[in-house]
């Protein structure tokens, strides 16, 4: 079997899992499924933590949110077998997502490495990256957050912005006071 055939098999499996996840998610309480998966992942981190394992947790939660969020609030059924099936499918899909890239002949080794690495890199080095993630992923679901915790990501960002503006203004005033005192008292 050549690389393009292997890549094709990965893509077909990914498509089949995607369809099955959507079908099952439409039949159960998708929000409950997401909460269950998130809780399991968090508990697993604390009980079996290792650097090699923890990178994929945000990725699997992002993947679960992508598939499950459109079904939030549409159904309140809770069928344990289906909940477990969805979680199993999401875990499997998360495991094979980078498969087609690994065998795709259109990528050179450097491109392939970067593509595969981008699937597991998580975390935010800079506030601007965190802000873009919040605006791009969380703010569109502002109403859901407001109903659950009485504040949405958009308002949280506004509060942070106001705090930073006040803090920066205060820092500037302190800097000016220091310069004034330094110039007039010490020289």
Rounded Cα–Cα distance for residues 143 and 17 (Å) = 29
Domain assignment of residue 131, given as a range: 125-187
Tens-digit pLDDT profile for residues 125-136: 556 767 887 888
Rounded Cα–Cα distance for residues 124 and 182 (Å) = 39
Q: For residues 102 and 187, state if they share a domain.
A: no
Q: For residues 26 and 105, state if they share a domain.
A: yes
Q: For residues 46 and 98, state if they share a domain.
A: yes
Q: For residues 25 and 108, state if they share a domain.
A: yes
Q: For residues 21 and 63, state if they share a domain.
A: yes
Q: How buried is 133 (Cβ within 10 angstroms: 0-12 exposed, 13-18 middle, 19+ buried)?
A: middle
Task: Enter the tokens of residue 122.
Answer: 């998580």
Q: For residues 4 and 88, state if they share a domain.
A: yes
Q: For residues 177 and 98, state if they share a domain.
A: no
Rounded Cα–Cα distance for residues 28 and 12 (Å) = 25
Q: Which of 6-10, 42-46, 75-79, 83-87 has the lowest mean pLDDT?
A: 42-46
Out of 123, 147, 173, pick the residue that ends a domain: 123
Read off the pLDDT band of 44 (50, 70, 90).
low
Distances (CA, A) of 24 to 41, 62, 77, 120, 165: 20, 18, 11, 26, 47
**Minimal CA–CA distance to 96: which of 181, 8, 27, 184?**
8
Q: For residues 107 and 140, state if they share a domain.
A: no
Domain count, the chain: 2
Q: For residues 114 and 137, state if they share a domain.
A: no
Out of 100, 123, 146, pick the residue that ends a domain: 123
Q: Angle formed by the axes of helices 3-25 and 56-68, to 10°?
A: 60
Q: Angle formed by the axes of helices 30-47 and 80-96, to 10°?
A: 60
Q: For residues 105 and 150, state if they share a domain.
A: no
pLDDT above 50 for 63: yes
Q: How buried is 125 (Cβ within 10 angstroms: 0-12 exposed, 13-18 middle, 19+ buried)?
A: exposed
pTM higher than 0.85 for the full model? Answer: no
Out of 106, 123, 140, pick the residue that ends a domain: 123
Q: For residues 45 and 102, state if they share a domain.
A: yes
Rounded Cα–Cα distance for residues 27 and 21 (Å) = 10
Q: Output the pLDDT for position 126.
A: 58
Out of 96-100, 160-164, 183-187, the most confident range is 160-164
Read off the pLDDT band of 108 (50, 70, 90).
confident
């Amino acid at each position: 079997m050549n690389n393009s055939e292997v890549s094709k098999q990965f893509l077909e499996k990914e498509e089949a899992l995607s369809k099955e996840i959507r079908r099952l998610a439409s039949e159960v309480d998708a929000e409950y499924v997401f909460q269950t998966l998130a809780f399991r992942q968090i508990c697993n981190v604390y009980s079996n933590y290792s650097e090699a394992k923890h990178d994929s947790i945000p990725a699997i939660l992002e993947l679960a949110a992508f598939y499950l969020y459109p079904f939030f609030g549409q159904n309140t059924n809770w069928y344990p077998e289906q909940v477990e099936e969805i979680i199993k499918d999401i875990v499997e899909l998360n495991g094979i997502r980078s498969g087609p890239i690994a065998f795709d002949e259109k990528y050179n080794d450097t491109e392939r490495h970067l593509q595969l690495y981008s699937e597991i890199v998580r975390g935010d080095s800079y506030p601007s990256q965190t802000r873009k993630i919040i605006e791009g992923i969380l703010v569109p679901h502002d109403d859901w957050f407001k109903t659950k915790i009485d504040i949405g990501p958009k308002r949280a960002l506004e509060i942070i912005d106001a705090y930073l503006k006040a803090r920066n203004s205060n820092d500037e005033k302190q800097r000016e006071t220091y310069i004034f005192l330094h110039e007039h008292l010490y020289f």
